[in-house]
A and B are shown apart, each in its own frame.
Chain A
Amino acid sequence: MQTLGQQLANPTRFMALSARLLPWLSALAAVLLVIGLYLALVVAPPDYQQGETVRIMFVHVPAAWLAMFTYVLIAISGFGLLVFRHPLADVSAKAAAPIGALFTALALITGSLWGKPMWGTYWVWDARLTSVLLLLFLYLGLIALRSSIEDETLAGKLTAVLGLVGVALLPVIRFSVEWWNTLHQPASVLRLDGPAIHASILVPLLVMVAAFTALFAAMHLKAMRNEILRRRVKALTMIEVDRQSRLAADPTRGT
């Protein structure tokens, strides 16, 4: 009996399964987003210290969560490629990188827009902000490295190695607010002693996190499908070029 991973190793089977899954995931993301935005902008009360600006948290935290989550996914995909040679691992890593870069950029931009009214500045070179900026550069590095190598197999392996090395940055980001003095507040949701946020703000936040995660899953699935199609197009184009060159060398074959 095949495991789900083995079943999905067949790109044709993956395309069939993802085609059925994608509309449901997209609908789930849309529904959760509508509910989440209503809770975030209408229902959630202003914070007793930060006032209305706390509403930026409802887009900032999900973006930051996905910036980290996407990188973990890329690292797992890289591991899957290098160790198990899973055919879809490289497709997954390649498809995830631009999405991760976008969420990292969103975390930085929304953080800056939150920082100006609360800290009095858009940016400080403190440990949390700087380490997240490094994560964005890491994503851009992965994209640049892959696009600079024409051989798809070699590009996949090299980006997988870089992806795995870059994992070392994740604990630095996570614990930067505890290891160093920073303007950024410490963790308030994922804590050993439970969330330090009142339920009236925590619930909208969790709904928005779920909505962004569902949206990410849908976008990642779509990007993976596009990448599989792109590789099929590339393979068929190579066959056509080869056929044309053989025909040019021996015109009698075409008759």
Chain B
Amino acid sequence: MDLGPHAAFIWAAYGVVALMLAALIGWLIVDGRNQQHRLDDLEARGLGRRRSSDAPRKT
């Protein structure tokens, strides 16, 4: 594919878009896994269902 004398600018534009979008998608996936893992961990310790006696007390 010959993109002429300005090919570097065109590839740089597509490259930056690909890199930044891939980074955001990766972060979203990792963040989602981390949150789910932490939630599973808390629920495994019996904190999944809120009981009235568990609710934080107002001081």
Query: Taking chain B's interface residues, is the majority helix, strand, or loop, or is none over half, making it mixed?
Result: helix
Interface string of B43-59 (1 = CB under 8 A from A): 10101101000111100
The closest CB in chain B to the CB of A37 belongs to B14
Residues of A within 8 A of B38 (CB): 233
Chain B contacts with A in 21-44, Cβ cutoff 8 A: 21, 24-25, 28-29, 31-32, 35-36, 38-39, 42-43
Residue numbers in A under 8 Å from B47 (CB-CB): 236, 239-240
Size band of the interface chain A makes with B: 35 or more
CA distance A222 to B21 in the complex (A): 14
Please determine whether B4 and A113 come into contact, CB atoms closer than 8 angstroms: no
Given contacts A56-B9, A226-B35, contact A102 B24 (CB under 8 A): yes
Kindly list chain B residues whose C-beta atoms are within 8 Å of the C-beta of A229. Answer: 32, 35-36, 39
Q: How large is the interface on B (under 10, 10 to 19, 20 to 34, 35 or more residues)?
A: 20 to 34
CB distance from A43 to the nearest CB of B (A): 12
A13 on interface, CB distance cutoff 8 Å: no
A223 CB → nearest B CB, Å: 6
With the chains together, A226 CA to B39 CA distance in Å?
11
Interface of A is mostly: helix
Chain B neighbourhood of A60, CB < 8 A: 13
Q: Which residue from A56, A219, A230, A233 sits with its C-beta under 8 Å from B13?
A: A56
List residues of chain A with CB under 8 Å of any chain B CB: 41-42, 46, 51-53, 55-56, 59-60, 63, 98-99, 102, 105-106, 109-110, 113-114, 116-117, 215, 219, 222-223, 225-226, 229-230, 232-233, 235-240, 242-243
- Can you sample 25 A-B contacts with CB below 8 Å? A41-B14, A42-B1, A52-B6, A56-B10, A59-B13, A59-B17, A63-B17, A99-B24, A102-B20, A105-B20, A106-B16, A113-B13, A114-B9, A117-B9, A223-B28, A229-B35, A229-B39, A233-B38, A236-B39, A236-B42, A236-B43, A236-B47, A237-B42, A239-B56, A243-B54
